[in-house]
Amino acid sequence: MTATGPLRDALAAATEDRLVYDLDGIGASCAELRRELPGVHVRFALKACPVDEVLRYLARRGIGVDAAGPEEIAQAVRAGVPVERIHYGNTVKSDRNIAHAHRSGVRDYATDSVEDVRAVAAHAPGARVFCRLATTGDGALWGLSDKFGCAPADAVDVLLAAWEAGLTPAGLSVHVGSQQMTADAWQDAFADLAQTLEALRRRGVVLDHVNLGGGLPARGYTDRYGTPLDPPLDKIFAVLRDGMQHLRDLHGGPLDFVVEPGRHLVAEHGAVRAHVVRTTRRRGPDGTYRRWLYLSAGRFNGLYETDALQYPLVFPTHPDADRVPARVAGPTCDSDDAFPAPVLVPADLRSGDPVWALASGAYAASYMTRGFNGFAPLPHTCVGGAR
């Protein structure tokens, strides 16, 4: 796996550590998504890349935003996203944050409980609400199960409560878990969506949209052990198209669809330029020697998701070097700040040599501490985006 094009050039030009994003690459992913899912509205899950340049670029392309609270709403507005395209997609919200969003002009709110519906009715009167259905998260690298969503039967009660409270029951939503690797997960979600739409219709509630959430897998990752993850995107898109058609047929009336990709749009178009801190050989608890490669970036400054994956590493100064297995870790005094499994690395790395961590454009800028152990958050550069 290697970097190409403008992303590569920007990584090669960097003399200090940073995050680099290729805006035109992000644009190509948006265009592909729109080709695969024609007519489906795209909302970017802001938390995956809260970078102003990226948001401004997406806003120019007519992409909406899934925001989790007042700060994300304000950032999206500043980036030029029209407020009617900003959705409050977090089921967890305080009275104060609901009121703030309402004052900002946000009209769509995710919910999954009667308590939250009452709060929305009180602080955002007249809002449109969409109820999130729970999923198992099976098949995803990060399942988002227990914390969110309700069972189909409970969704009916939640939306009826919304109706009684003077809100507009507008839709249903799901999130099948982040980096969902199976098409089956969406198949199961469609079954629950169909059942819930039917049950609602029997109670006289006709919704106008379904939000298929995030979870679309990104390309470019390798798994914990360094094997490329090869997400079955063609199959997933086919299941999404079939599922949407089936729901439309069942529903009769007009039904709009939304997707809320986060990592799918940005992961492979961002990379971290870091450097070698040190390589060592130390005897482990079992008495055998292990090689370690300590990088200047790790879980607390840009490479957070090593709990479930490896970022492919490029050693631009050692393209043809002999490789040896090493444990790779970040610079902090935290033993969780390490890659999950050994990586093959050049044998003769020196302190200061550049290292590129690819496929790190998603959740890098957001899962960055303010300076754990004094290691500063990475600055960023964006390339492209002239159009």
Ligand X SMILES: *Cc1c(COP(=O)(O)O)cnc(C)c1O
Residues that bind ligand X (CB under 6 A): 45, 47-48, 66, 89, 175, 178, 213-216, 260-264
Say if CB 330 and CB 337 are below 8 A apart.
yes
Q: How far is the CB of 145 from ligand X (least distance, A)?
A: 13
| CB closer to ligand X, 41 vs 263 | 263
| CB closer to ligand X, 140 vs 200 | 140
Q: How far is the CB of 244 from ligand X (least distance, A)?
A: 17
| CB closer to ligand X, 50 vs 346 | 50
Q: How far is the CB of 353 from ligand X (least distance, A)?
A: 32
SS3 annotation, 222-254 = EECCCCECCCCHHHHHHHHHHHHHHHHHHHCCC
| CB closer to ligand X, 264 vs 327 | 264
Helix, strand or coil for residue 53?
helix
Q: How far is the CB of 141 from ligand X (least distance, A)?
A: 9
Q: How far is the CB of 142 from ligand X (least distance, A)?
A: 7
| CB closer to ligand X, 214 vs 346 | 214
| CB closer to ligand X, 167 vs 181 | 181
Helices (H) and strands (E) in the chain, counts: 10, 20
| CB closer to ligand X, 149 vs 384 | 149
Q: How far is the CB of 386 from ligand X (least distance, A)?
A: 27
| CB closer to ligand X, 50 vs 262 | 262
Helix (H) or strand (E) holding 168: strand 168-173
Q: How far is the CB of 387 from ligand X (least distance, A)?
A: 25
Q: How far is the CB of 213 from ligand X (least distance, A)?
A: 5
d(CA 358, CA 267): 9
Say if CB 249 and CB 45 are below 8 A apart.
no
d(CA 318, CA 276): 12
Q: Running DSSP on this structure, what letter comes out for residue 134?
A: P
Q: How far is the CB of 187 from ligand X (least distance, A)?
A: 18
d(CA 260, CA 265): 10
| CB closer to ligand X, 258 vs 355 | 258
Phi-psi map region of 67: left, alpha, beta (phi>0 left; psi -120 to 50 alpha): beta
Tokens linked to 192: 């629950």
| CB closer to ligand X, 116 vs 260 | 260
d(CA 212, CA 234): 16
Q: How far is the CB of 97 from ligand X (least distance, A)?
A: 15
- Residue in the block written with tokens 């300590």: 294
- Residue in the block written with tokens 């049950």: 199
Say if CB 222 and CB 312 are below 8 A apart.
yes
d(CA 1, CA 29): 19
